[in-house]
């Protein structure tokens, strides 16, 4: 009899211990899920599963990721949205929707529809044959159906309305489209093109709102003139930052901020914020040593001047040993450490109302 009661007590204790470890994961989460749209700054591997050269599913990408493996993130490790998910008390990574290694139990708390090389403008996605923004929204609609089947309507609707929607787009619209393709330049001045993009951003957010989204983070542009690729091209100015590109980023971010204020007035119960990486990133580039960085002007990968994607070669002797000393991983994308600093900044500022 004593043996039976001891066994019962042990079983009860085991259940209590298991519940104790399960409980914090539920109560610590500030939001039920993070849902991501955008470009290579937040793509966690969707491009691995489409026909495009805009990929990073090979070494040295991911060399500092858990298990030292490439995931399709354009980084040596994790990216900003992974860190935001972790800060929200959710998982440490946000999986790519097209990755068959994950299922709805993973996607119910975090899912990424982003595609490297895309933009607001459909013409931007056409350049490298990647997933346009409208298609990301179609995937999201499909996801909603799967979420309702998985959680039931009531719970799924709660996740949809309480989730944080994080977007990061726009850089490619300028660098891969406007400044490289003559068509848009013949149609629009740079200011008109920005207004055109903001119109697309507005429709996109209204679409999300009509699908149930209420908490939305609109990502601003970084100082894109300071990317190593643009500095390499700026030969006539001693490889300094391309100030004209930075000015475009500042102007575009101001227009996005105006859009945020407009939408918050216009749409009942919506909460839109601008998560703007521009200033913290510029400060890092101007004063790398005060953030513990050693190199701001060139990237870790290969020669650090123009390589990204397939030109970032694991066997290149120039590829740096310690990415933590570099602000940029390849000529276009930050290192994991830079992304962590940016994520910390937006979590404490723009996202604090959702995650506090």
* CB 165, CB 37: distance < 8 Å: yes
Q: What are phi and psi of 145, to 5 degrees?
A: -60, -45
pTM of the model as a whole: 0.89
Residues annotated as catalytic are: 40, 330, 333
Q: What's 316's DSSP letter?
A: -
pLDDT score at 231: 83
Positions in the chain short of pLDDT 50? 1-27
pLDDT score at 305: 53
| Spatial CB neighbours of 299, under 8 Å, sequence gap ≥ 6 | 228, 305, 307, 326, 328, 329, 330, 331
d(CA 118, CA 137): 13
Q: How far is CA 272 from CA 137, 139, 170, 342, in A?
A: 18, 22, 17, 19
Q: How far is CA 119 from CA 42, 129, 133, in A?
A: 12, 12, 7
């Amino acid at each position: 009899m004593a043996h039976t009661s001891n066994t019962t007590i042990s079983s009860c204790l085991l259940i209590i211990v298991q519940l104790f470890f399960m409980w914090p994961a539920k109560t610590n989460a500030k939001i039920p899920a993070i849902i991501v749209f955008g470009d290579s700054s937040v793509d966690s591997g969707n491009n691995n599963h489409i026909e495009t050269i805009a990929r990073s599913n090979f070494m040295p990408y991911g060399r500092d990721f858990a298990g030292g493996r490439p995931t399709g993130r354009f980084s040596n490790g994790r990216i900003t949205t992974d860190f935001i998910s972790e800060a929200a008390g959710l998982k440490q990574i946000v999986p790519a929707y097209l990755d068959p290694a994950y299922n709805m139990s993973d996607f119910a708390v975090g899912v990424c529809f982003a595609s490297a090389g895309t933009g607001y403008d459909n013409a931007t996605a056409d350049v490298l044959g990647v997933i346009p923004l409208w298609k990301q929204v179609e995937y999201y609609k499909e996801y909603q159906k799967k979420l309702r089947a998985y959680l039931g309507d009531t719970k799924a609707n709660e996740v949809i309305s309480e989730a944080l929607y994080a977007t990061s787009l726009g850089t490619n619209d300028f660098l891969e489209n406007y400044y490289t393709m003559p068509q848009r330049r013949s149609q629009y001045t740079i200011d008109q093109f920005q207004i055109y993009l903001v119109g697309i951003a507005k429709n996109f957010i209204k679409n999300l709102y009509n699908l149930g989204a209420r908490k939305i983070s609109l990502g601003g542009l970084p100082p894109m003139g300071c990317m190593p690729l643009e500095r390499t091209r700026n030969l006539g100015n001693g490889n300094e930052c391309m100030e004209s590109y930075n000015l475009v980023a500042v102007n575009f971010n101001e227009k996005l901020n105006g859009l945020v204020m407009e939408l918050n007035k216009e749409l009942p119960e919506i909460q839109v914020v601008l998560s703007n990486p521009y200033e913290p990133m510029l400060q890092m580039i101007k004063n790398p040593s005060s953030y513990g960085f050693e190199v701001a002007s060139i990237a870790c990968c290969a020669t650090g001047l123009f390589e990204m994607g397939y030109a970032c070669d694991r066997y290149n002797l120039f590829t740096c040993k310690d990415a933590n000393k570099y602000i940029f991983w390849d000529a276009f994308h930050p290192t994991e450490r830079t992304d962590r600093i940016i994520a910390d900044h937006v979590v404490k500022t723009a996202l604090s109302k959702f995650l506090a």
